[in-house]
Structure 1
Amino acid sequence: MKLKSQIPNAITLLNLFCGCAAIICILDHRFIAAFWFLFAAGWFDFADGLVARLLNVSSEHGKELDSLADMVSFGAVPGMIYYTLLFIGQDAAPASAPDITWSWYAAPGLLVTLFSALRLAKFNLDTRQTENFMGVATPTSTVFATGLMLIYALDPFGWAAWALSPFVLYPAIVAFSYLLISEHPMFSFKIKGMKWEGNETRIIFAVLAIVLLATLQTAAFPFIVGVYLIINLVSPPTASAEA
């Protein structure tokens, strides 16, 4: 087995490590540290495929390993975020959150993890998703959940209570559980060259995302995902990328 062929797999394992570390941080209520581990996991998830293409190495083993890593970083993690936020929301004084134990009130948050597993299993067998996605990709679902976690942890604009509200969390859980396995086409972030034609939707979305980041800063992520979903619902891509 050539060492060169194992470099992308090593990067994939770094993604998996960061996902595991993020779960530990979430359970320990160290949400900022969890964010940075997830940020790193996202970069490693992008880098493994890029490095594989640059080295011209590819294998079914690598693809399966990538899905297993994604199941932790972008499947288990958002479920744990929803579970933890719902659990903390039960406490009368959220600032002094109790240690995490089992709660039926918070358990529905794990639905996102279950539907993420269904999506990843479906994606591995779906030959249609070569250019765009069918349904929401697991990293997109994770960005939304992570955004709620940051809003609670940093309380920008005094919105922390909203991030703990069951009237926000339960609908989000149901919506993303459905969207993860839906057949609705969603555009990917693969840029086709350096021109406007063929990239119109991606460029418009990128501009809107930058505006939201500039104005809302750490509270921007759920709204960015919201804009992404609205654009796809209003004007879905005509053709059907990697999840």
Structure 2
Amino acid sequence: MKRHIPNAVTCLNLLCGCLALTFIFRGELVIGAYLVGIAAVADFFDGLLARALRVSSPIGKDLDSLADMVSFGVVPGAIMFELMGQSFVGQLLGQLFNTASPLLSPDHIAGTSVLPFCGFIITIFSALRLAKFNNDTRQTTSFIGLPTPACTLVVASLPLILANDQFEVQNIILNPWLLLGLSVLLSGLLVAELPLFALKFKNLKWLGNRRRFVFVALALVLVSTLRAAGIPLAVLIYVLMSVPGRVRSRDGLEASPTAPQ
């Protein structure tokens, strides 16, 4: 019975991803973002439970990757698609109500209908990332490339920032070219030859977990003070903390079979 518990949690991850998609395509991105958060929590605990119960299996690993492909592959692409669509609609309305602007050209209108689909490059590179993780023997003690949950949390934070725009950054975020650039950047990081430490605690001792404890503390401070705006900063710190030195085995950096990919 206990061997099914981690897989059940993985299925919760998958369910949240499916539900998130339904809300995202209805334009309810905030609800979709919260469901992504629940999926990320489930993704963290399925690996934790698998190790604690000692029931890791190849089926569990494959199921985890399939669930991650939905929650942390398709979902961020869908969010980007919707955000880029909203940004282009905003530009069109701005030009329509600006009497000094020239009439919209057919080429411009065609571009507004095609470019939002570029958000799905994140989905494509997430699939490459997951396939690479499952077959790359170098990623047994650390990650190489940005994990898909971290990428998705950055994307999912954008609707939350817009919903509570305390920093008045709506015009910045809803810039289609900025969103396109962010999509390309995140996609590149997913498959980059960039060593990153795995955020998995084998125990709660300071020795061997220093980097993890420091990162978690900084992330909590950022999110508690800046709310959703702290999430992209936390992911940036995660990357920066990994870059200065090689990820060493003595740091206790070991990825589980169901680790975030």
Q: TM-score range by the shorter chain?
A: 0.7 to 0.9
Higher mean C-alpha displacement, 82-91 vs 57-66 = 57-66
Alignment map for 1:138-177 (pairs within 5 Å): 138-177=148-187
Alignment map for 1:80-229 (pairs within 5 Å): 80-92=78-90, 103-191=113-201, 193-229=203-239
CA distance in 2, matches of 1:4, 1:202: 28
Aligned to 2:242: 232
- Answer yes or no: is the 8 Å Cα contact 1:186–1:232 preserved in 2: yes
Change (3 A) 1:87 1:202: same
CA distance in 2, matches of 1:217, 1:52: 31
CA distance in 2, matches of 1:51, 1:193: 14
CA distance in 1, matches of 2:55, 2:229: 39
CA distance in 1, matches of 2:162, 2:196: 28
TM-score by length of structure 2 reads 0.82
Aligned to 2:98: none
Higher mean C-alpha displacement, 131-140 vs 191-200 = 191-200
* Runs of 4+ residues deviating >6 angstroms: none
Structure number with bigger Rg: 2
CA distance in 2, matches of 1:201, 1:66: 26
Aligned to 1:98: none
- Answer yes or no: is the 8 Å Cα contact 1:119–1:181 preserved in 2: yes
Change (3 A) 1:88 1:37: same
Aligned to 1:99: none
Q: Does 1:20 align with 2:18?
A: yes
Amino acid in structure 2 at the alignment position of 1:202? R
- Answer yes or no: is the 8 Å Cα contact 1:185–1:237 preserved in 2: yes
Deviation of residue 198 (structure 1)?
A: 2.9
Aligned to 1:54: 52
Aligned to 1:29: 27
CA distance in 1, matches of 2:78, 2:60: 26
CA distance in 1, matches of 2:129, 2:141: 17
Amino acid in structure 2 at the alignment position of 1:181? V
Change (3 A) 1:5 1:190: closer
Amino acid in structure 2 at the alignment position of 1:32? V
Amino acid in structure 2 at the alignment position of 1:48? D
1:43 to 41, 44, 61: 41
TM-score by length of structure 1 reads 0.87
Deviation of residue 192 (structure 1)?
A: 5.2
Alignment map for 1:63-78 (pairs within 5 Å): 63-78=61-76
Deviation of residue 103 (structure 1)?
A: 3.0
**More contact order relative to length (CA 8 Å, sep ≥ 6):** 2
Change (3 A) 1:51 1:200: closer
Q: Deviations over 1:89-122 (max 9, x none)?
A: 0113799xxxxxx931111110010000001011
- Identity over aligned pairs, percent: 43
CA RMSD of aligned residues (A): 2.2
CA distance in 1, matches of 2:220, 2:23: 28
